[in-house]
Amino acid sequence: MDVTVLIESFADFARQKNIDRPTMIRILEDVFRTMIKKKFGSDENFDVIVNAEKGDLEIWRFREIVDDESEDIWDFDKIPLTEAQKIEPDFEVGEEVAEEIHLEDFGRRAVTTARQTLIQKVKDLEKDILFQKYKDIVGEIISGEVYQILSREVLLIDGEGNEISLPRGEQIPKDRYRKGETIRAVVHKVEMINGNPKIVLSRTSPVFLERLFEQEVPEVYDGLITIKKVVREPGERAKVAVESYDDRIDPVGACVGMKGSRIHAIVRELQNENIDVINYTENLELYIQRALSPAKISSLKIDQETRRVTAFLKPEQVSLAIGKGGLNIKLAGRLTEYEIDVFREVTEQAAYEDDVDLDEFRNEIDGWILDELKRIGCDTARNVLDLDREELARRTDFEEETIDNVLNILRMEFEQE
C-alpha cells in the first residue's frame, strides 16, 4: 500500500471520529515507531516526520560510523565504515549517517498490520473520549432515541449515534416505550466493561427529579432556591424539601407555580408521580410535621438517641399520615432520617362528625386545588359546598370545569353516606 494512501485514509477516518490533529499525528508516530522497533530492535536513533494533511511520511535512521574492527559494530546506533561508504564514499569514522527508511522496506505484511493498528487505535481513543465525555456529565439530564427494547433494558441512541442503556431497574414502573420515541433521563453511571464504555441512564434516581426542578423552576436553576433533599418511590410519590435564602421568595409556591403549572410539567414527565414540596427548616419538630403532610399532627415525641418519632394524630388524620401503601410515612422517614410511628389521639368525641376534612380528598383532587381552597378559608368539604359556583370562581380564579369537578366529588361523599 502506498504511504500517501495509508496516511490519507487514516486521516479521513480520524476526522470522521472528531480526532484532533495533534492526537492524530501522535497515533501515526506511535504506530510507525512500533514497526521500527519490531524490525530494528529500537527506535531511539530514528526520527519520524508525519504530515497527515498531505499524506507525507519520512523516517530517518541515524548511526555513528565506527571502524570495521570495532567492538561496537553490532550496536543498533552504529554502522561499519565499509557499509557507510556504500551510501557515501567520502564518509569517515566518527561521522553520522542519516539514512531514509521507506515504508516499503518494512514489507507488505507490516504495512497491512500498521493500517489495522491505526484504525484500532482510533476506535480505542474514540471509546476513551466517549467514556470521559459522559463521565463529566454524570448527574445531568440527556435525551435519547429508543432504538431497541429488550427484556432487561431499553437501548437508546444519543445525538452523536452512541449507544446508551436504560436498565429495567432504572425505569419508572409505568413507563412504556416505543421505537423512535425520544425520552429524557439522567446519566446515572459510566463504566468500562471489557474495554467498552457502558453508559447507564436512570429515571428513578432522586437526582433526575432534582434536575427536572432545575429545568422547570428558574429560581432553583439560579440558586435562589436550594433543594435540600429528594426522596421518591418512582411513579408513585415523592417528597422534596426546598429552602430559600431570600425572604421575599416562597420556595414552595415558586416550585409549584401558578395553578400548579411548574409542578404539573414534572408530574407528567414522571408518569403522574405525586410530588409533595416541603419548606425545609432546621426546626426538627416542624420539619417532621411538614414531612408528614398532608396529615395534621396533634403532637410529637422525638427521641434523638434512637432517632425515632412518635406522632399523635386525630383518627381521621392517621390514614393520611400513613398514605396509600404506607408511602407517605415511609418517605417522610427517609426525608427526615427518623423512624416515624403514628398513633391515634384519644378524644372524648369527634367534632363535626358529619363533615370531612379537605385533605381526605387528596387522592381525588389535586393538592394545589385543595391548597387554594384552604387559602380562601375552606378547610372542610361543607365549607366549600356552602359557597356557590360564582363565589368560588371569583375567589379562586378556578376554571369552570375545575369547579364542577370539585363540587361533584364533594357532593358524592355525602350522598354515599
DSSP 375-399: HTT--BHHHHHTS-HHHHHHHH---
320 lies in a domain?
Answer: no
Q: Is 354 exposed, middle or buried (0-12, 13-18, 19+ CB in 10 A)?
A: exposed
Is residue 317 over pLDDT 50?
A: yes
> What is the rounded CA–CA span in Å between residue 116 and residue 273?
52
What is the average pLDDT across 374-394? 76
CATH of the domain at 38: 3.30.1480
332-364 residue pLDDT tens: 999 999 998 888 775 544 444 567 888 888 888
Looking at the structure, tell me whether residues 9 and 117 fall in a common domain: yes
CATH of the domain at 245: 3.30.300.20
> What is the rounded CA–CA span in Å between residue 2 and residue 103?
8
Looking at the structure, tell me whether residues 108 and 181 fall in a common domain: no
In single-letter form, the type of residue at position 58 comes to E
**Dihedral class, residue 351 (left if φ above 0, else alpha if ψ from -120 to 50, else beta):** beta
> What is the rounded CA–CA span in Å between residue 352 and residue 145?
55
What is the average pLDDT across 276-290? 94
Structure-block grid coordinates of residue 248:
421575599
Domain of 251 in residue numbering reads as 215-280
Instruction: Pick the last residue of a domain from 224, 245, 280.
Output: 280
Looking at the structure, tell me whether residues 24 and 112 fall in a common domain: yes
Give the total number of structural domains in the chain: 4
What is the average pLDDT across 303-314? 89
Helix or strand (DSSP H, E) at 339: strand 339-344
- What's residue 350's pLDDT? 45
Looking at the structure, tell me whether residues 78 and 24 fall in a common domain: yes
Looking at the structure, tell me whether residues 28 and 105 fall in a common domain: yes
Q: Are 58 and 81 in contact (CB under 8 A)?
A: no
The residue with greater pLDDT, 80 or 375, is 80
Q: Are 239 and 209 in contact (CB under 8 A)?
A: no
Looking at the structure, tell me whether residues 57 and 102 fall in a common domain: yes
Instruction: Pick the last residue of a domain from 202, 232, 248.
Output: 202
232 lies in a domain?
Answer: yes
Looking at the structure, tell me whether residues 256 and 142 fall in a common domain: no
Predicted confidence band of residue 55 (pLDDT cuts 50, 70, 90): low
67-123 residue pLDDT tens: 888 888 888 888 898 888 888 888 888 889 988 888 878 888 887 888 888 888 878
Structure-block grid coordinates of residue 171:
425505569
340 lies in a domain?
Answer: no
Strands 182-193 and 196-202: antiparallel
Looking at the structure, tell me whether residues 103 and 33 fall in a common domain: yes
> What is the rounded CA–CA span in Å between residue 182 and residue 146?
6
Looking at the structure, tell me whether residues 145 and 168 fall in a common domain: yes
48 lies in a domain?
Answer: yes
Instruction: Pick the last residue of a domain from 95, 126, 157.
Output: 126
Who contacts 274 (Cβ-Cβ below 8 Å, separation ≥6)?
236, 237, 238, 267, 367
Residue 278: closest CA among 357, 326, 331, 214: 331
Looking at the structure, tell me whether residues 32 and 122 fall in a common domain: yes
300 lies in a domain?
Answer: no
What is the average pLDDT across 210-232? 95
287 lies in a domain?
Answer: no
- Residue holding cell 376534612? 357
303 lies in a domain?
Answer: no
CATH of the domain at 186: 2.40.50.140
Is residue 33 over pLDDT 70?
A: yes
- What's residue 54's pLDDT? 67
How many Å is the Cα radius of gyration of the chain? 36
Looking at the structure, tell me whether residues 196 and 242 fall in a common domain: no
Looking at the structure, tell me whether residues 21 and 122 fall in a common domain: yes
315 lies in a domain?
Answer: no
What is the average pLDDT across 216-227? 94
In single-letter form, the type of residue at position 3 comes to V
